[in-house]
């Protein structure tokens, strides 16, 4: 009996590793191809039969990008926009999610559905009027306005997600805190927020990736080169009317992906760590 349980566990582990490895291969193969491309000289890229490994290997594409102040500027812009949106969205959505999860009040469902409904209007329908609005209030090429727009777009879904995370936390701890004389806000900040860290971290990553990878809103609301985000800069390598500069395009892509992976690496400990430190005692 015991040995068969251990054997089953071993099989389960083996299957797990195999599936995960296969998943990794499928996930990463095209990107490895892109990475190798970024290291090839321009002449060696579009040839057939394809040469798998760069020979000669060159860092020229990366060098050209990294010394370009304009490119660095794109990254800084995207960083400001992403972090700004995360801070704004979490600060705004978390309390709203808490209220939605814990309270019953008049008009609750209507308000929540109304908030969610605003993110149901397709983004492309809103792009033109948002642009006209921006021109009217003279807030084109403006970080705060962009952050507000991204926030307005993402907060509704963030509220629904965080609400889900709050709902599964038993109320006893907050009630204990309230009995101890804590205000509702205090209970929220000191008891609930730490417990929903995994959810907050996950939403933070989602927001980061959305803003970092956004093209349409960025190209609509910025006209000056110094304010453009990363994806708009990237598209230039695709839309050069003389053809795609694959080497630089891939190098730029690799550079653009790195911060996301970094953010993920930093944040993933947060949303995994949640478990035992949360004190979900029986």
Nearer to another protein, 31 or 57 (CB): 31
**Cα 37 to Cα 53: distance, rounded to the nearest angstrom:** 8
- Contact residue for another protein among 7, 33, 66, 176 (CB under 8 A): 33
Cβ-based nearer residue to another protein, 80 or 219: 219
Residues 110-149 that bind another protein (CB under 8 A): 111, 115-133, 135-136, 148-149
Compute the distance between CA of residue 79 and CA of residue 248 in angstroms, rounded to an integer.
21
**Taking the complex as a whole, how short is the minimal distance between the CB of residue 163 and another protein, in angstroms?**
7
User: Site for another protein (CB under 8 A): which residue of 207, 249, 251, 255?
Assistant: 249
Q: Closer CB to another protein, residue 57 or residue 266?
A: 266
Q: How far is the CB of 190 from another protein (least distance, A)?
A: 15
Residue 215 in the binding site for another protein (CB under 8 A): yes
Under rule CB under 8 A, which residues in 226-245 are in contact with another protein?
A: 228, 231-232, 234-236, 238-244
Residue 34: CB minimum distance to another protein, A: 6
Which string of DSSP letters, residue by residue, matches the chain?
Answer: -HHHHHHHHHHHHHHHHHHHHHHHHHHHHHHHHHHHHHTB-GGGTS-SSPPSS-SSB--HHHHHHHT-HHHHHHHHHHHHHHHHHHHHHHHHHHHHHHHHHH---TTHHHHHHHHHHHTTS-HHHHHHHHHHHHHHTT-TT-HHHHHHHHHHHHHHHHHHHHHHHHHTS-THHHHHHHHTT--HHHHIIIIIHHHTHHHHHHHHHHHHHHHHT--HHHHHH--SGGG--HHHHHHHHHH-TT---HHHHHHHHHHHHHHHHHHHHHHHHHHHHHHHHT----
If the CB atoms of residues 14 and 57 are measured against another protein, the closer one turns out to be 14
What is the per-residue binding string for another protein in 149-188, x denoting contact by CB under 8 A? Answer: x-xxx-xxx-xxx-xxx-xxx--------x-----x---x
Q: Which listed residue (1, 2, 69, 265) binds another protein by CB under 8 A?
A: 265
Residues of this chain, 75-114, that bind another protein according to CB under 8 A: 88, 91-93, 95-96, 98-100, 102-103, 105, 108, 111
Is residue 253 part of the contact set for another protein (CB under 8 A)? yes
Residue 100 Cβ, how far from another protein at the closest point, in Å? 8
Q: Does residue 204 interact with another protein by CB under 8 A?
A: no
């Amino acid at each position: 009996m015991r040995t068969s349980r251990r054997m089953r566990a071993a099989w389960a582990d083996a299957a797990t590793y195999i599936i995960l490895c296969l998943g990794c291969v499928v996930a990463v193969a095209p990107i490895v191809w892109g990475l190798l491309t970024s290291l090839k000289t321009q002449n060696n890229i579009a040839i057939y039969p394809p040469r798998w490994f760069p020979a000669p290997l060159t860092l020229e594409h990366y060098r050209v990008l990294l010394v370009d102040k304009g490119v660095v500027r794109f990254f800084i812009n995207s960083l400001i926009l992403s972090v700004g949106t995360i801070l704004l969205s979490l600060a705004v959505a978390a309390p709203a999610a808490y209220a939605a999860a814990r309270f019953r009040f008049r008009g609750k469902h209507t308000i929540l559905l109304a908030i969610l409904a605003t993110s149901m209007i397709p983004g492309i329908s809103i792009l033109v009027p948002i642009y006209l609005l921006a021109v009217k209030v003279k807030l084109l090429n403006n970080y705060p306005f962009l952050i507000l727009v991204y926030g307005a777009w993402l907060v509704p879904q963030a509220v629904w997600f965080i609400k889900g995370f709050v709902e599964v936390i038993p109320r006893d701890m907050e009630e204990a805190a309230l009995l101890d004389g804590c205000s509702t806000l205090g209970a929220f900040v000191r008891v609930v927020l730490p417990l929903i860290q995994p959810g907050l971290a996950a939403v933070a990553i989602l927001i980061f990736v959305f803003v970092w990878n956004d093209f349409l809103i960025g190209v609509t609301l910025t006209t000056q080169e110094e304010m453009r985000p990363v994806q708009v800069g990237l598209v230039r390598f695709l839309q050069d009317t003389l053809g795609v500069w694959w080497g630089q395009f891939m190098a730029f892509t690799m550079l653009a992906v790195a911060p996301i992976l970094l953010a993920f690496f930093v944040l993933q400990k947060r949303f995994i760590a949640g478990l035992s430190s949360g004190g979900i005692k029986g």
